Amino acid sequence: MDTPARPIRVGLLGYGFAGKTFHAPLIAACDGLVLHAVASRDAGKVHADFPGVTVHAAPEALIADDTVDLVVVATPNDTHAPLARTALEAGRHVVVDKPFALDLQEARGLVALAETTGRHLQVFHNRRWDSDFLTVRRAIEDGAIGRVTHFESRIDRFRPQVRDRWRENAAPGAGVWFDLGPHMVDQALALFGLPDSVTASVAIQRDGAQVDDWAHAVLEYGQLRVVVHAGMLVAGGSARFTVHGTGGSAVKLKADGQEVQLLAGLRPGAPGWGEDADALVVYDGSGEPRSIPATPGDQRGFYTAVAAALAGDAPPPVRPIEALAVMAVLEAGAASARGGRSMPLPLTPEERAAW
């Protein structure tokens, strides 16, 4: 009888919002992975959730731990690339939270290093496994809307009080465009591929805010326009997705609920996990609506695919060119907002051919 392969031992860098809320529960609930070590200055916080996990006080100590196979970088944005580089140079496989890096050139360097070292490098684009996106994607692929001409994706929140945290402080990689933009951009690229150009605008709207808390970008694809939008002063009234096409329209009002479930302490795979009671409403050419039940979401799909890729059983969930393309759109959007004009994607011909 074959001896089953041992689980992949995961070391998690950071136990703040991203590490504690998303990465640790998803890793712990995935077959083929085991949460083996965490780098955190608060060992008590980690052990309250995972008593048997080794806690290192510094990221460098965890990366140097030869019992770790896969390093997950869930630290502030400006540390993503340096820590990922250190982990790759130490011979570890790496998952990096979004955004991949602070700029496209930095991201390219990491992809090249992963190729040189022969290590897997993945970016945590977990929102591909959200119920809202899966539902809209299925409707588009089934032809319910015809040829899509307008696709609108919004992540709106009502957070009028500015919080003292790195995401909202004046630092590289902060602001809503780099925080929420990667989710929406990755989903758009997964559906429609590379846009021709990007036109974007960002703003600081809340009293006391230091970085952009409103962002609006249009990805241009010939006849198709993809709008991605995020704001921190939206109390209600906006849909998560709105799609128009030659065969009708579709509206998904509410967002995937996995983040809310995780914050409430529900563990991935528990009864009710990923379920979404908010149906997609599709309007035909005469304006008559019909409801399509939402497809359940399950962000474990990202880590399940990572485990399969490391075992050599499947391709990686996020190809390097896909991660680079997201960075290219973010960079083009930032340049567009600064210059007030549409910007092409700053990808090389070789990178475009790899898509």
Rounded mean pLDDT, 242-271 = 97
| pLDDT tens, residue by residue, 316-326 | 999 999 999 99
Residue with tokens 């390097």: 320
User: What's residue 85's pLDDT?
Assistant: 98
The candidate with the shortest Cα–Cα distance to 56, out of 75, 37, 72, is 37
Q: Give the Cα separation of 342 and 218 in Å (integer).
A: 9
Task: Give the confidence band of 29 by pLDDT, cuts at 50, 70, 90.
Answer: very high
133 three-state secondary structure: helix
Cα dihedral sign, 94-120-182-34: negative
Asked if 281 contacts 289 with a C-beta cutoff of 8 angstroms, the reply is yes
Q: How many CB atoms lie within 10 A of CB 46?
A: 23
Rounded-to-integer distance, Cα 118 and Cα 92, Å: 10
Q: What percent of the chain has pLDDT over 90?
A: 95
For 184-225, the pLDDT digits (tens) are: 999 999 999 999 999 999 999 999 999 999 999 999 999 999
CA–CA dist 203, 176 (Å, integer): 10
Reported as a single tens digit per residue, the pLDDT across 325-339 is 999 999 999 999 999
Nearest to 323 by CA among 293, 342, 347: 347
Both structure tokens of 137: 């994607």
- Please report which confidence band the pLDDT of residue 167 belongs to, taking 50, 70 and 90 as the band edges: confident
Residue 2 has pLDDT above 50, yes or no: no
Burial class (CB in 10 A: 0-12, 13-18, 19+), 335: middle
Domains of the chain plus CATH, in order, are 8-124 (3.40.50.720), 127-297+330-339 (3.30.360.10)
Percent of the chain scored above 70 by pLDDT? 99
Q: Which residue has the tokens 């795979």?
A: 269
